[in-house]
């Protein structure tokens, strides 16, 4: 098992329209969350990079989830800039040359994660997109290729993590979105989901949780409950 502080395994997604709302949620969550994800929605609002800098100043870890997909040189420059700002994780799409360029450009504590298959996609969606491959096979292939390219890990649904742990190198970092507490309803755009405890038992290193925390009557209490579930699953592993 990797030496990851238990409290850092929960990544709260700041899926809100603007930076002031993101700061307010971070302040409300207090010490219940140490790791945050900021993504495309906030990028399209003023203050994205100021928010990143503010989070780092609050001694928080930051996962910049923008899924870079462009020519290798452009992706490399984007990763380099994020590394210089202190981003801890960033995500990329693309082929081997894109992944290799991103891996070469990272520095400091920045980890590059390759996106495998979005949790909003199921087998029917992949068929529609022309991917004539099983979801699990696609995820495993992407994981192997990302490590060969020098990336640090992948973003993968919890449904594929157990097989990744059996067949991919143990040093692979696995960040798992689509995490839903048992009592949470299933959103229509998240098809491949898993509870926090099940994802940890399957071998996920980090869990990304957005709406269940953001939309809870008491976000801090929800985050603390998820932290407790993660800790109990780790003790039982």
Give residue 189's pLDDT. Answer: 47
User: Catalytic annotation on 70?
Assistant: yes
How much is the pLDDT for 125? 47
Q: Which pLDDT does position 191 carry in this prediction?
A: 47
Residue list, annotated binding site: 15, 37, 65-74, 119, 180, 190, 210-211
* Active-site position among 53, 56, 70, 125: 70
**Position with higher pLDDT, 222 vs 192:** 222
37: which strand partners? 13, 63
Instruction: Determine the average pLDDT of the residues in 103-131.
Output: 73
Distance CA 7, CA 198 (A): 17
Mean pLDDT score, 157-177:
84
Q: What's the mean pLDDT in 127-155? A: 77
Residue 49 — very low, low, confident or very high, per pLDDT cuts 50/70/90? very high
pLDDT bin (cut points 50, 70, 90) of residue 20 is very high
Helix H or strand E encompassing 19: helix 19-29
The confidence score (pLDDT) of residue 186 equals: 47
Q: Are 91 and 177 in contact (CB under 8 A)?
A: no
Does the annotation count 53 as an active-site position? no
Class of the CATH-defined domain 6-236: alpha beta
Could you tell me the two tokens for 171? 């040093």
Give the pLDDT mean for 83-106: 95
Cα separation, 90 vs 102, whole angstroms: 10
pLDDT of residue 75 exceeding 90: yes
Residue 67 annotated in active site = yes
The torsion angles phi and psi of 87, rounded to 5 degrees, stand at -60, 135
- Residue 64 is predicted with a pLDDT of 98
Chain center to CA of 176: 6
Ranges of H-type helices in 36-194: 40-43, 48-57, 72-85, 96-105, 123-128, 135-149, 158-167
Per-residue pLDDT, 124: 57
| Among the ranges given (28-37, 53-62, 90-99), the one the predictor scored with the smallest mean pLDDT | 90-99
- Residue tagged active-site, from 53, 67, 80, 122: 67
What backbone phi and psi angles, to 5 degrees, belong to 57?
Answer: -65, -25
Minimum mean pLDDT among 61-65, 184-188, 218-222: which range?
A: 184-188
Please compute the mean of the pLDDT values over residues 212-237 and round it to a whole number.
96
Which secondary structure element, helix H or strand E, spans residue 29, and what is its range? helix 19-29
Q: Can you give the pLDDT at residue 127?
A: 55
pLDDT, tens digit, 9 for 90 and up, residues 31-44: 999 999 999 999 99
Beta bridge partners of 12: 36, 209
User: Residue 206: what pLDDT?
Assistant: 97
Instruction: Answer for the pair 68, 79: CB distance below 8 angstroms, yes or no.
Output: yes
Residue 170 confidence (pLDDT)? 78
Specify the pLDDT at position 128: 56
> Looking at 60, 61, 65, 88, which residue is catalytic?
65
- Indicate whether 118 pLDDT > 70: no
List 113's β-bridge partners, or say none: 91, 153
What is the mean pLDDT of the segment spanning 54-69?
Answer: 97
In this prediction, residues 105-109 reach a mean pLDDT of: 96
- Where in the chain are the domains? 6-236
- Enumerate the known binding-site residues for substrate: 15, 37, 65-74, 119, 180, 190, 210-211
pTM equals 0.89
How many of the other CB atoms lie within 10 Å of CB of 167? 11
Q: Which H/E stretch holds residue 201?
A: helix 196-202
């Amino acid at each position: 098992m990797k030496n990851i502080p238990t409290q850092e395994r929960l990544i709260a997604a700041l899926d809100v329209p603007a930076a002031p709302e993101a700061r307010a949620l971070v302040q409300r969550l207090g010490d219940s969350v140490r790791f945050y994800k900021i993504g495309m929605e906030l990028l399209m609002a003023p203050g994205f990079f100021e928010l990143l800098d503010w989070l780092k100043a609050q001694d928080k870890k930051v996962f910049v989830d923008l899924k870079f997909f462009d020519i290798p040189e452009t992706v490399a420059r984007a990763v380099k800039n994020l590394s210089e700002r202190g981003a801890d994780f960033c995500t990329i799409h693309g082929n081997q040359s894109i992944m290799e360029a991103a891996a070469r450009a990272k520095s400091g504590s920045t980890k590059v994660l390759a996106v495998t298959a979005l949790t909003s996609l199921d087998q029917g969606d992949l068929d529609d997109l022309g991917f004539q491959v099983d979801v699990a096979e696609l995820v495993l292939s992407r994981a192997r290729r990302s490590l060969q390219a020098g990336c640090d890990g992948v973003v993968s649904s919890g449904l594929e993590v157990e097989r990744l742990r059996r067949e991919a190198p143990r040093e692979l970092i696995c960040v798992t979105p689509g995490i839903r507490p048992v009592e949470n309803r299933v959103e229509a755009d998240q098809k491949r989901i898993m509870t926090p405890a099940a994802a940890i038992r399957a071998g996920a290193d980090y869990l990304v949780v957005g709406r269940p925390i953001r939309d809870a009557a008491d976000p801090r209490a929800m985050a603390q409950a998820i932290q407790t579930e993660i800790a109990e699953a780790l003790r039982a592993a």
